[in-house]
C-alpha cells in the first residue's frame, strides 16, 4: 500500500483528511503516509506539476496506490471505504443518508463561511497588502477555483457585512450541532458513533476558535462539551500539530478577532 498526501499543515481541508487518517489508525506523517507539504504562501499549489494532480489548484490531494483523488469530503468517504475499520459512517441506510446530508451542509455552509474570516483577518493582509491592483488581478486569473472569491475579497479582505454573515453561518452550524447532540444524546453528532460528520466539522470549529470566535458557541452547553471531547481524541492531537493553527504558523502577522474588530471599528 502506498498512501501519499499532498497537504498543508494549516489548511482546514487538509486537516479533515489528516483527522480521518488518524481515526483509521494512520496518524503519523511521514510514517503511516508519505507527506508532501504544499506551501500555499509560495503558490506551490499553482505549479504545472501540482495542477496535473489537482486541476482545481487546491490542497489536499491523496494518491493511493497510484490513484489520484481530490476533494476533501470525497477523500474522507474514500478512506472510510478503503480502510473500513473502524467504520466512520453509520451502518443503517437511513442514518447513513442523514450523515451524508450533514456532510453536504458542512461543505455548503460552514466550510464556505470559515474562509471569509480566515482570509480577511489574516491571509489577505499578510499576502496581498503590498500587492498592486494589476498584480492582484493577474494573480486571481491564475486561480482555477477561487477567482471570484479573491476578486470579491480584494487585497484588503472582506467588509463587516461579509464577516457578520460568516459568523451567522457558523452560529447556525453550532446550533445544529447542539440540537443534534440534545436529540440523540451524543456523545457525537450522529449519536453513539464518532463519524465523518464530527471529523469534517472539527477543523472549521478549530479555525474559528483559533481566530478568536469561540464566543459563538459559549452559550451552547452540549456543543461546548462535544468540542472538549473532540479535543481529547488522539486524532485531534495527531492532526493539529505544532504549526497547524494559523495563529502559530503566522504568529508575527496574527491578530485576534477582538483586536481586529476594534481596529476596524466594527
Ligand X SMILES: N[C@@H](CCC(=O)N[C@@H](CS)C(=O)NCC(=O)O)C(=O)O
Among 11, 140, 171, 180, binds ligand X (CB under 6 A): 11
CA atoms in the 13 A half-sphere facing the CB of 144: 14
Is residue 202 within the footprint of ligand X (CB under 6 A)? no
* Cα-based distances in Å from 198 to 23, 60, 178: 11, 19, 12
- Binding mask 13-52 toward ligand X (x if CB under 6 A, else -) reads x--------------------------x----x-------
Longest dimension (CA), the chain: 55
71 binds ligand X (CB under 6 A): yes
Sheet order of strands, 61-64 included: 34-37, 3-7, 61-64, 67-70
Judge if the upstream peptide bond of residue 247 is cis by omega within 30 degrees of 0: no
Q: Which range of residues in 66-74, 133-141, 172-180, 182-190 is near ligand X by CB under 6 A? A: 66-74
Residue closer to ligand X by CB (options 127, 220) is 127
Given the DSSP bridges, would you call strands 34-37 and 61-64 parallel, antiparallel or unpaired?
A: unpaired
- Residue 12 found at the interface with ligand X (CB under 6 A): yes
143/185 Cα distance (integer angstroms):
43
Shortest separation between residue 262's beta carbon and ligand X, angstroms = 27
Per-residue exposure over 93-132, b if at least 16 CB sit within 10 Å of its own CB, e if not: eebeeebbebbebbeebbbebbbbbbbbbbbbbebbeeee
For residues 134-193, which are near ligand X according to CB under 6 A?
146
CA distance 98 to 73: 15
Q: Which is nearer to ligand X, 142 or 237 (CB)?
A: 142
Q: From the CB of 110, what's the least distance to ligand X, in Å?
A: 12
Nearer to ligand X among residue 145 and residue 219 (C-beta) = 145
The piece of 71-79, 225-233, 234-242, 258-266 that touches ligand X (CB under 6 A) is 71-79
Q: How far is the CB of 187 from ligand X (least distance, A)?
A: 26
- The residue of the chain with the least Cβ separation from ligand X equals 58
Amino acid at each position: 500500500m502506498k498512501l501519499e498526501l499532498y497537504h498543508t499543515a494549516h489548511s482546514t481541508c487538509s486537516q479533515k483528511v489528516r483527522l480521518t487518517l488518524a481515526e483509521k489508525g494512520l496518524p503519523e506523517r511521514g510514517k503511516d503516509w508519505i507527506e508532501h507539504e504544499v506551501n500555499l504562501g509560495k503558490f506551490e499549489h499553482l505549479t504545472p506539476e501540482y495542477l496535473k494532480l489537482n486541476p482545481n489548484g487546491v490542497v489536499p490531494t491523496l494518491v493511493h496506490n497510484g490513484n489520484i483523488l481530490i476533494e476533501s469530503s470525497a477523500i474522507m468517504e474514500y478512506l472510510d471505504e478503503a480502510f473500513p475499520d473502524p467504520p466512520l459512517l453509520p451502518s443503517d441506510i437511513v442514518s447513513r443518508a442523514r450523515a451524508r446530508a450533514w456532510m453536504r451542509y458542512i461543505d455548503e455552509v460552514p466550510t464556505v463561511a470559515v474562509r471569509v474570516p480566515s482570509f480577511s483577518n489574516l491571509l489577505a493582509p499578510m499576502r496581498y497588502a503590498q500587492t498592486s491592483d494589476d498584480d492582484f488581478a493577474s494573480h486571481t486569473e491564475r486561480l482555477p477555483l477561487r477567482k471570484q472569491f479573491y476578486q470579491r475579497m480584494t487585497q484588503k479582505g472582506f467588509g463587516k457585512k461579509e464577516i457578520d454573515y460568516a459568523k451567522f453561518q457558523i452560529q447556525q452550524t453550532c446550533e445544529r450541532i447542539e440540537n443534534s447532540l440534545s436529540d440523540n444524546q451524543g456523545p457525537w453528532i450522529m449519536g453513539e458513533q464518532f463519524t465523518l460528520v464530527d471529523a469534517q466539522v472539527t477543523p472549521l470549529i478549530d479555525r474559528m476558535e483559533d481566530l478568536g470566535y469561540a464566543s459563538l458557541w459559549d452559550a451552547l452547553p452540549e456543543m461546548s462539551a462535544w468540542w472538549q471531547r473532540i479535543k481529547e481524541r488522539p486524532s485531534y492531537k495527531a492532526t493539529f500539530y505544532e504549526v497547524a493553527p494559523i495563529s502559530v504558523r503566522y504568529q508575527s502577522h496574527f491578530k485576534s478577532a477582538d483586536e481586529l474588530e476594534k481596529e476596524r471599528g466594527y
